[in-house]
Amino acid sequence: MKPLTEREIRAAFVNCTKGEAKRLSVPRDLADRPWDDLDYLGWRDPQAPDRAYLVTELADRPRALALRCPAPASWQTRRSMCSMCLTDHTGGVVLMVAPKAGKAGQQGNSVGTYICGDLSCSLYVRGKKDTGLAVRFRESLTVEEKIRRTKDNLAAFLTKVTS
């Protein structure tokens, strides 16, 4: 994806207030992120471990989501699969919940998804990061096809949050 500035990222949030978007923590090392290899940039809030954020591009516009990670549960120790990139992990997938945009969100509605806990789907898909699992689920898809699938899943999630 195209590199984004802090200001662009803050302006891209769709499911939190302008004040929250202004205050939340954005990585300081944006210039050093591997943008060429990213379908989305995701990060944890260093001040609030139960919060995470991600920014991606949808129809050529940056769109960012504020996410909550509920307390870890027992299922996290089992192998599970990321709903975005379909990578298999042992304990590396977390449930993240996005409040819905607009009125629906103010009324407490949210959308959840199981996603790589380190928000590194793009790197797993490209084989730039490994889950450490000895036996990996083999797929016949090419990297390009996996990237497309990850982007489609992400777009579908964004659409659910904003619909």
69 binding Zn ion? (CB under 5 A): no
Q: Whose Cβ is closer to Zn ion: residue 11's or residue 81's?
A: 81
Pick one of 84, 95, 96, 161: the residue that binds Zn ion (CB under 5 A): 84
Helix, coil or strand: residue 48: strand
How far apart CA 103 and CA 119 sit, in angstroms, is 27
Nearest to 48 by CA among 65, 33, 29, 69: 69
Closest to Zn ion by CB, 99 or 117: 117
Q: Is 54 in the site for Zn ion (CB under 5 A)?
A: no
Tell me the per-residue interface mask from 112 to 131 with Zn ion, x by CB under 5 A, - otherwise: ----x----x----------
Work out whether 82 is an interface residue with Zn ion (CB under 5 A): yes
Residue 101 or residue 119: which is nearer to Zn ion going by CB? Answer: 119
Please enumerate, as own/partner, the contacts of 18-21 that have beta carbons within 8 Å and a separation of 24 or more.
20/66, 21/64, 21/66
